[in-house]
Structures are given as C-alpha cells and as structure tokens.
Copies of this chain bind each other. A is one copy, B any other.
C-alpha cells in the first residue's frame, strides 16, 4: 500500500491511512505500507536547501529532504501501534533499499528484503519511508519527485505482492474528467497504456514506477485514500474493486481498441522556414540541440517545393523553448535557413490503446474526426499503441471530446 502526501497531510489523515491498513491486516494480508512526506513538508525542505545555497551538494539535499518521509513513517507506525496493530518504521538505509549514487534522482539497484519479509510474515506491518534509499557509500539518496510510487512498486516486486497506490483520485480515466464529463473510470489498463498515459501528462502514476511494475509484472491498483477505509474492498482476485488495476494485457479480457485520450499542454513548436534541403542538414539542427540536453519529440519536414528549400518543424518541452531557439539561432550560419519561429500555443493530443496493434484504421479515424471539426494537424507521431497529433491549443477540448466520443469511450 502506498499513500501520497495529501493522504498523510495531518494526524487525522494518518489515522485514516491506519484504518485502511487495519482493513488489509484483518483480511489476513501481510502489509508493507509506503508513505510520502506530509503535504507541504517536502516543498518546505526543498525551499530551505535553496535558501541555504543555490549551489548545494545533492547529497546534502537528500539528507535534508528525506527527513519528511522519515517523520511520516514513524508517525504512522505509532498510530498503528495505538490501534493495537504491530508495526515498525523502515528507513531507506535500514531495509536497505540500495540505490546508485545519483543523488536527487537515484535508481534502485536492489532491496535486501529478507529481514522485513520475515517480520511481515510474523504479522508486523512494515511502514516504509518512501522516496529514499542508501547509496553504495552509505549516504541517504532520494529517488526524485514522486519517487514513493517507485519505492512501493519495487517493494511489491521484491515481496512478490500486489501494489495498491492510494491517491487523491479514484482511478485512471479514459480522459481528463475536467474536460469530458462523460469520461469513464477504467477498471483495468495495460502497463504499456499506463506508461503512455503517464508520460503524456496523466499525473496518476510516475512513469518510472509503471516501467518497474511492467518489468516485474507487479499488479498495481490505483485507488482513492478518500474511500471509506472500512471497505468492503475485495480486490485480491482483481476481478472488481474500486479504482483501476494496472496489469499485463493478458489480464484484460475485453480489450478495447482505444483505452484513453491523453493530452499535454507542456509542448512548444519550433519552425525553421526555407531551410537548405541538402544532406546533413538534420544533423546540423539536432546535433546542437542534443548537445544542449534538449529533447526533441515530434519532427515534421515538408517536401521541398523546389528541391532546394524546405520548412522544418519540431517540438520540445515548453520549458526548453527559449534555449532551443537560442541554440538554433547560434547555429544559423551552419544550418542555413531564412526564418525561425517558436510557439507554445500548441497541444499534443494522443489516442492510446494496445488494441490498435491488431486493428487497422484507428489513425485514419482520428484524422477524419479532426478534419470534420476543422482542426488542422501540425505534426504526427505514432508508436505501436499510440497516435499523437499536434494541434492549436485553442482546439484542445473540442478535439479531446470529439475523439472520446468517436472511439466509443463516453459513459452511457
């Protein structure tokens, strides 16, 4: 079980978490519960490290910031004990949760789970400080923002258990319910689909935790910590229950062609007009961007009209737009182009579904729906289970609603 910052924001919320744990214990389960810092604590600690010095050592940052989860883990253990439930806290170095030494964004290398597993088998609830581990030379590490999800999935993998992620939403939806009121909660979603959803801005799970769950085949149940803790929640056989089960596609019996519509507004578009269309020009554009650590997502190169000059458009994260423009400006002599334009006024809309592997026509339908609404497509990328298009941001809601309806995702 994993509970995020809003789920442990104060002692009353921590007691609520303890009641969720109590339910699972009473159902006969062995329970490890991973907790984040109390909402706001991590922000305060991060602000202090910045106030102390902008040029801080990441090892010290980790020392400071990891204190938040340490506090919550002890408080939850105390709360459980007060309810008569055997429990103890586990800090990253105590398990140990072994990571590499990339402080601030460490990767888990292994978990020595034996002692914790032994105590759990004796009925003791393991309350684990999320987001933290220990480096090879014995320093505290943190896994990066949202790393508690990754802690939880890694522990579930090591314990060969399932992972229930309690959050402030009650599951994964076919699309953003704030845009489409007929959005439906998915009872199941495949790892690959969840990965696309997460990387496209659905904030329910961290991308890294989904990757880890997929690799280790850990079933992940996303559910709300605001549900009444007394249940009844019978999800052990994963046939029903609240929230959404993220699982292997073989566990999804009635697979839809399209599972969800995602969108991301964190995109920016860069267009080079009248680029010299000669061999090596792509390398002269994208080489400097790569050197500057700027990730390029979509790329569209028009067919040149005269065989000599063409227009080229690519997208980057909107945070990187200014830097990307500067890099291209600087390389202007080398690249050879007439004009440079940048815009953040775009959105990437994606149709996701593992079913499209075996169904032709999903892309064609997408283009037709958008054409019917008069929406111009500025760029396209596809993967085996996803089609993404870049459009004018003003059409976001229109496009998402139209696609949601066209692929039969609207609730009755």
Contact = CB atoms under 8 A, between A and B. Distances in A.
Interface string A49-82: 1011111110111111011101101111111011
Nearest to A77: B60
A45 interface: yes
Given A48-B11, A93-B93, A138-B94, A64 B55 contact: no
A83 B61 CA distance: 16
A74 B55 contact: no
A188 interface: no
Contact of A73 (B45, B63, B88): B63
Contacts of A62: 74
Nearest to A49: B78
A49 B76 CA distance: 9
A89 B60 contact: yes
Contact of A75 (B55, B64, B82, B139): B64
A74 B78 contact: no
Given A55-B82, A78-B49, A78-B52, A64 B60 contact: no
Residue from A11, A64, A140 with most neighbouring chain B CB atoms (10 Å): A64
A53 to B, nearest CB: 3
Interface in A2-17: 11, 14
Given A55-B81, A63-B70, A70-B63, A75 B89 contact: no
A154 interface: no
A74 B93 contact: no
Contacts of A55: 81-82
Given A14-B52, A140-B91, A74 B81 contact: no
Residue from A63, A73, A76, A82 with most neighbouring chain B CB atoms (10 Å): A63
B63 A74 contact: yes
A81 B63 contact: no
Interface in A166-187: none
A124 to B, nearest CB: 11
A275 B122 CA distance: 56
Nearest to A57: B81
A6 B67 CA distance: 20
Contacts of A68: 67
Interface residues of A, number: 40
Contacts of A76: 52
Nearest to A56: B78
A107 to B, nearest CB: 21
Contacts of A66: 70
Contacts of A63: 70, 73-74, 77, 89, 91
Interface string A23-61: 000000000000000000000010011011111110111
Nearest to A59: B88
Nearest to A69: B67
Interface string A328-339: 000000000000
Contact of A67 (B71, B93, B94): B71
Contacts of A139: 94
25 contacts: A11-B48, A11-B51, A14-B52, A48-B71, A52-B75, A52-B76, A53-B79, A54-B82, A56-B78, A56-B82, A57-B77, A57-B88, A59-B89, A60-B74, A60-B75, A60-B81, A60-B88, A61-B78, A62-B74, A63-B70, A63-B73, A63-B77, A63-B91, A67-B67, A93-B93
Given A55-B82, A56-B82, A94-B139, 13 more contacts: A11-B51, A49-B75, A49-B78, A52-B78, A53-B78, A53-B82, A60-B89, A64-B74, A67-B68, A67-B70, A67-B74, A91-B140, A93-B93
What 9 pairs between A and B have smallest CB-CB spacing? A53-B82, A64-B74, A63-B74, A67-B67, A52-B78, A56-B78, A60-B74, A60-B77, A52-B79
